[in-house]
Amino acid sequence: MNQASGKMNRRDVLNLAATTGAASLFASKVNGSEAADSASFKIVDTNVNLFHWPFRRLPLDQSEKLINKIRSLGISEAWAGSFEGVLHRNVTAVNRRLASECKRYAELVPIGTVNPLLPGWEDDLQRCVDHYDMPAIRLHPSYHGYSLDDPRFARLLQRATKAQRFVQLVAVMEDTRTQHPLLRVPDVDLAPLAKLMRRIGQAKVQILNWRPRSPLLETLAKSPGVSFDTARVEGTDGVPKLVQSVPAGRVMFGTHAPFLIPEAALIRLHESSQLDDKVLRALLSQNAQQVMGKTES
């Protein structure tokens, strides 16, 4: 700890998170004591993936290693999609493997893949609902080759809404500057989403891995069913600015692990020093529990 300022630097934050868990870290931030009781400080990561990223190995791309990291940081629940869902065409097998893997770890909540351009996507969605009881589906429009004004996306969103499932929409997986030269995948154009959300009034969509920007953020903020994650929000003031720019309850914690190291998202939150107890607890867990239709225990 910096003795002159009394503030923790990044190394201090990492050490405390590693030794006592991120829940203790945030409890100490809120209550002013590193020894504060963090038993009730729940952390839900709404954005992780299992298995292997197709283009390179990642340090935490084995489930056991990812879970050990999550547990060490005090993250008690993680919503897990599958890297295999990005390029594999046999989505049925992708979701079956994901559901089976998530059963091995109490922290994992499986989030299935659906590709509305593939034959039988309706059956894939129904299996996510009926066979695996997945609370949400995760979509990759840029990798699967459709835009948000495609009628097939609208049909998928309607069906998911009718089944009382929410949708996680992945805006970007990897920065275009680091992508394989033979597979350049642009970020998803989110502009058509607001209009579609007005048509499907009960729909719930969480945008993952987006770096918020105006005026599109203001437009999306007017759609009650749209929420955001924190994985790629930049700067120590980025998350507070996002929280202030949208209605309450619309920002959820996400790390994009193992593609990004989960500590990075936690450090950004801790360093912001602009979120009070109520907002921090909502962002870290309560908003996620509400969109799941749960209440915190």
Domain residue ranges of the chain, discontinuous segments joined by +: 1-39, 42-291
Q: Is 100 exposed, middle or buried (0-12, 13-18, 19+ CB in 10 A)?
A: exposed
Average pLDDT over residues 189-216: 95
**What's the pLDDT at 167?**
98
% of the chain with per-residue pLDDT over 90: 73
User: pTM (2 decimals)?
Assistant: 0.89
CATH value of 42-291 in 3.20.20.140, 3.30.470.10, 3.30.450.40, 3.20.20.80: 3.20.20.140
Average pLDDT over residues 236-265: 94
**What's the pLDDT at 100?**
98
pLDDT bucket at 23, cuts 50 / 70 / 90: low
**DSSP string computed for the chain:** --TTT----HHHHHHHHHHH-HHHHHHHHHHT-TT---TT---EEEEEEES--TTS--TT-SHHHHHHHHHHTT--EEEEEETHHHH-S-HHHHHHHHHHHHTT-TTEEE-EE--TTSTTHHHHHHHHHHTS--SEEEE-HHHHT--TT-HHHHHHHHHHHHTT-EEEEES-SS-GGGS-TT---PPP--TTHHHHHHHSTT--EEEES----TTHHHHHHTSTTEEEESTT--STTHHHHHHHHS-TT-EE----BTTS-HHHHHHHHHHH----HHHHHIIIIIHHHHHTT----
pLDDT in tens, 128-177: 999 999 999 999 999 999 999 999 999 999 999 999 999 999 999 999 88
**Taking Cα atoms as reference points, which of 195, 188, 166, 189 lies closest to residue 46?**
166
pLDDT bucket at 232, cuts 50 / 70 / 90: very high
pLDDT in tens, 147-161: 999 999 999 999 999
- Is the pLDDT at 186 greater than 90, yes or no? yes
% of the chain with per-residue pLDDT over 70: 86
Please give the single-letter amino acid code of residue 159: R
**Taking Cα atoms as reference points, which of 200, 187, 108 lies closest to residue 153?**
200
Count of Cβ atoms closer than 10 Å to residue 222 Cβ: 12
**What's the pLDDT at 28?**
56
pLDDT in tens, 52-67: 999 999 999 999 999 9
pLDDT bucket at 33, cuts 50 / 70 / 90: very low
